[in-house]
A and B are shown apart, each in its own frame.
Chain A
């Protein structure tokens, strides 16, 4: 069965520091890959997505993610974190060509220290 692993439940960084959130998936082929963010009191907002092509994708709010087929990973990065980035981040995959239901990781809660 397909699965998504986000190894870090909680991460704390200082404002201005760089950030990398890890995501690994288990699936035989290349799925569609997504990162969503949920800020306090808000719904899930799409940060970025990967379907095919260039393995480095740019998203909103200065985020980027890199797809590495050999590692089955889709890690999210940001060079300089802002206090407003404190939120919960979810990696998700969908089976390409299927019904496209999303399979989510457990989420990583990010805290930002001033």
Chain B
């Protein structure tokens, strides 16, 4: 069974540009989560989907971040426009039971 996959693995963009990160959860997992780790800080929760619905988006830092989950399958996280402080590693996780979360390899975002 394939694990959680994320694309791209790395992204380097200029400040003000737009970047879209993608996450494909484990097949059959209705729960999908996004987390972020900025340099030197803890891994922080961003939001949680149940199927295509946003269950909890309390961790989204501001309205420059937009997450979608089309058809309850893969999810995208768009940052527009990107700022320097958005640099970090973005992790996606999925869960079947809403308790145990399985993580992807992460996307390292660098904003110059």
| Consensus secondary structure, chain A interface | strand
Which residues from chain B sit less than 8 Å from chain A, CB to CB? 4, 31, 33, 35, 41-45, 48, 55-56, 59, 91, 93, 95, 98-106
CB pairs A–B below 8 angstroms (6 shown) = A42-B105, A49-B99, A92-B43, A99-B48, A100-B31, A100-B98
A101 at interface, CB cutoff 8 A: yes
Which residues from chain A sit less than 8 Å from chain B, CB to CB? 32, 34, 36, 42-46, 49, 51, 90, 92, 94, 99-107
Known: A99-B48, A101-B45, A101-B48. A32 touches B106 (CB 8 A): no
The closest CB in chain A to the CB of B40 belongs to: A106
- Expressed in whole angstroms, the minimum distance between the Cβ of B88 and any Cβ of chain A is 13
Contact A102 B35 (CB under 8 A): yes
Quick one: which of A43, A100, A104 contacts B105, CB cutoff 8 A?
A43
Contact A43 B43 (CB under 8 A): no
- Expressed in whole angstroms, the minimum distance between the Cβ of A90 and any Cβ of chain B is 7
User: Which 7 A-B pairs give the minimum distances between C-beta atoms?
Assistant: A43-B105, A44-B103, A104-B43, A101-B45, A99-B56, A104-B42, A43-B103
